[in-house]
Structure 1
Amino acid sequence: MKRLIQMILVGAGFTANIHTASAVFVVDDQVVSDPATFLGDPEFDSRTNQMVWQDALGDLWVADIDPATGDISPLDGKGTLVDSGLASIVGVGNGPEWTYGVQDAHIAYTRLINGTTRAIGIASMDGAGGWTTRILNDGFNRWRPEGTSPSNTSAARIAYIKGSGAGNQIAWRNIVDSTSETVATSGVDGARFVAGSSFLVSTAKVATVSQLQIIHEVTGQVTQITFGANHKYNPATFIAPEFNEPMITTMQNKTAVAVWRNVAGVWEKHHTINLPTSKGYVSSPEPFTYGGKSYVAVVAADALGVGNFPFQPAGDTEIWIAGIDPGQPFYRRIDDPSTNAQRSEPEVYEADFGPVVFYTETDPVAGTAIVRRADTGLGDTTGYDMPLYGGPWSVMHRDNRNSGSTPYEIPDAYVGHNLAFLKNVQINRPTMGPKGNIYIPYYDTNAGYARKFASLEAATGAVNYSHDSTVLLPDVTVAAGNLIDRNGDYYVSTEGAMNKLDSDGNLIWSTPIEGFTRSPQFTSTDKLIFLTWNGWVYVMEPSDGTILMGRTMTGWRDY
């Protein structure tokens, strides 16, 4: 695949856009909300294809997103009125946020009780496609909630500020268990969960410098993790597929984006992103991943500070995405460079054609706010140079290109059959059996994202069977790593177990393992061999699931 170097003319200067891609990037930046409606700071959920936002009257609205086009429906964002009486964003400092369990998504927000007391509200989808709302038990004098990420593999939780003035504390809890509330030993500015870990991250002034600190989710113990003279603001977290581990982004001195990685127990700066633009400040860095790589969506601005929001961009601004790999610089401006506007709050949504960035365009003079959608162009990126989810080290390849690609001849045409949308195609891979049937684990979008696996006829797409995987495989959080033996028996990994089922979907055995695998294979002596995402290698007896060897190769790492 050729490496293209594209030069984009912006204003009076040039900015380099270096990226491996299948086509030259063309800006696609469109208005997607009703210009007559003041619609600001929405939050997007790629799981349920919905958008949540709060209007100036304190009403909580949910609208649909079409994953095929990225369009908002209805255009004014007022699809379903979920709740009313929300506290002002200006006073609280944030609007409603999504929070995620293994398969469930909820909305957390700050309500105002009797016009004076703040409390946390929770909105949850019911089985009929509607919403139920409630005030959190023991939720009074708790506000500005932040939720767990879509990668969360346990119950949905929120972190928030506890208190009503002097003596505020950082606290967090399970959204259904008031007794689970834990309070940090120090800190007052709020916190966010570190994706894929048992920690939260926040900032605190040390002497005169804003530093990062992590908070142990069980004990509340606070540990400073950054040092030096540079200020760190507005931390956000993500799981980087390049390393299969949590990382943190921050604003550095309001002028750059810093990316942090835990190396052998010490948080180190992995990369500093200095945007190739004449704008001197950055705002709202939003990390995201796609195609096995990590990126940051961020605003470039001439100045920061709008009202009570010191980090909000002011004046004419730009929307950029950038890569986190210091060895392969990638910068791309994705908003329309032919127009000047005040742009803010980039939010990434994964459409069917690739990730897009929604952002708010504000006109302070006219008093309007609209939502625009800018395509990242990353959906065009493809090829064998794309890293696999979790890194190629954890995959046992069986073709001579070491690519994991099919060993069969590629046909000139395909016949498509639709079963259900695969929520994570990087993990949920189909496998063909010896009789031409296809086995596949998947999320059923027509049944509340129920975890299932099915057998299909490859020639016709007819469903032989489709089972609820939580019935046959209790406590399953993910199904991956399909393998078929010569008898048509089916081997599939779940979180913490390797399982064998017959061709009718009946469970034969289930053996506990560390983590889960994506690439089991048979040895030359017909034993089952596989690697797990967290560095274990196993050899098992296929007939009964006996572990013949189980050994960690990364014992120095804390997963």
Structure 2
Amino acid sequence: MKSKNAGSPDRPLLHGLLMAGLLLAGCKTSEPDGAGQLDPAYGPGWSAVHADSRNSDYSPMQGPRKVVPAWQRKFEGTINLGPTTGKQGHVYLTTNAGDCHLYAMDPRTGKTIWCSNEVNKFAVASSALVDAQGCLYIADNEAMHAFDATGRLLWETKIKGFPLSAQFTHTGRLIFITHIGIIYVLDRKNGAFMLDPHPLLADLPSDPDFDPRACMRGTADCPCANTLAVDQATGRFFFTYWAPGAAQACIKAMVYSEKNEPSIGALWENTALPGGECFQS
């Protein structure tokens, strides 16, 4: 059944061709252990847009010496980001084509297992984030959504702006930043806010536009044009930010903590990015 977090605050590019030979890869969150840490939230396989919380784009697996195409699948629309894989080995892909914008596909054949129209076409700018229980999390420009492995919508939480994919914190929460610079941390069981949305600026547009082209180019019109990188040992996270009126983008470091109560604190920023452009790729 569809459920909404009703009490929440307000809330291209590669033509579709996918060729796959991919690793096999009820939602619940583990309780903290004696050290105050949660079990790792990331599922096996390629569970995040850039593989893991560090955006490493790396797997320790040794690749095969000979690779031959297993199947290919074409979409009428566009595919912006590569797929992620879940616990059951399903291949999750976003596209702006047709009525469905989130697909789960069989890794052996490429056939659709299920697809969902619960997210709109702007979800094409994100990849689904998959947890250890096989649940997945993805946003469009209106809300963050959670699904189980069968495609059933578990919850949705209204947000302001659009996040280019999400990550998990070291405590197993869902963390993301929208393109206008609002940081959200949600409980992944139910989409509840762990703390109030954290804007980087006091004055933000009440109804922000989302231009995918600006975010793909990493321009000043999309202040936060990339996915967070999260340090699972410390709770620190890093992202690019083009402040209004600045000559170029910067890298900001912040930290999320649940030591006493959930909080976000600023650490440092570096404004010396050559050219000032940061790309979501």
Fold in common (TM above 0.5): yes
CA contact (8 A) 1:202 1:212 kept: yes
CA contact (8 A) 1:192 1:201 kept: yes
Change (3 A) 1:183 1:136: same
Match of 2:276, as an amino acid?
Answer: Q
Q: Which runs of 5+ in 2 are unaligned?
A: 1-11, 26-43, 50-60, 203-219
Name the structure 2 match of 1:134: 69
Q: Which runs of 5+ in 1 are unaligned?
A: 1-88, 109-123, 305-313, 348-559
Map Cα deviations across residues 371-413 of structure 1 (whole Å, 9 max, x no partner). Answer: xxxxxxxxxxxxxxxxxxxxxxxxxxxxxxxxxxxxxxxxxxx
**4+ residue stretches of structure 1 with deviation over 6 A?**
103-106
Structure 2 length-normalised TM:
0.56
Name the structure 2 match of 1:300: 241
**Structure 1 residue 346 displacement after superposition:** 7.2
Name the structure 2 match of 1:157: 91
Match of 1:212, as an amino acid?
Answer: M
Report the identity percentage.
Answer: 6
Name the structure 2 match of 1:257: 183
Counterparts of 2:197 and 2:234, CA distance in 1? 17
Name the structure 2 match of 1:317: 249
* Larger Rg, first or second structure (1 or 2): 1
Name the structure 1 match of 2:195: 270
User: Residue 225 of structure 1 aligns to a residue in which SS?
Assistant: strand
Change (3 A) 1:154 1:170: closer
Counterparts of 1:340 and 1:276, CA distance in 2? 24
Of structures 1 and 2, the one with the larger relative CO (CA 8 A, separation 6+) is 2
Map Cα deviations across residues 55-113 of structure 1 (whole Å, 9 max, x no partner). Answer: xxxxxxxxxxxxxxxxxxxxxxxxxxxxxxxxxx64559x99xx76458779x9xxxxx
From 152, 166, 169, the counterpart of 1:240? 169
**Structure 1 residue 275 displacement after superposition:** 4.5
CA contact (8 A) 1:194 1:246 kept: no
**Structure 1 residue 344 displacement after superposition:** 0.4
Structure 1 length-normalised TM:
0.31
From 156, 162, 166, the counterpart of 1:225? 156
Change (3 A) 1:183 1:328: closer
**Structure 1 residue 327 displacement after superposition:** 4.0
**Structure 1 residue 318 displacement after superposition:** 0.8
Counterparts of 2:137 and 2:162, CA distance in 1? 11
Which protein is richer in strand relative to its size?
A: 1
CA contact (8 A) 1:211 1:224 kept: no
Name the structure 2 match of 1:169: 101
**Structure 1 residue 171 displacement after superposition:** 0.9
Change (3 A) 1:335 1:135: farther
- Residue 128 (structure 2) pairs with residue 215 (structure 1): no
Change (3 A) 1:147 1:141: closer
Counterparts of 1:282 and 1:162, CA distance in 2? 23
Match of 1:132, as an amino acid?
Answer: V
Count of aligned residue pairs for this structure pair:
212
CA RMSD of aligned residues (A): 4.5
Q: How does 1:507-546 map to 2 (within 5 A)?
A: none
Counterparts of 1:275 and 1:162, CA distance in 2? 29
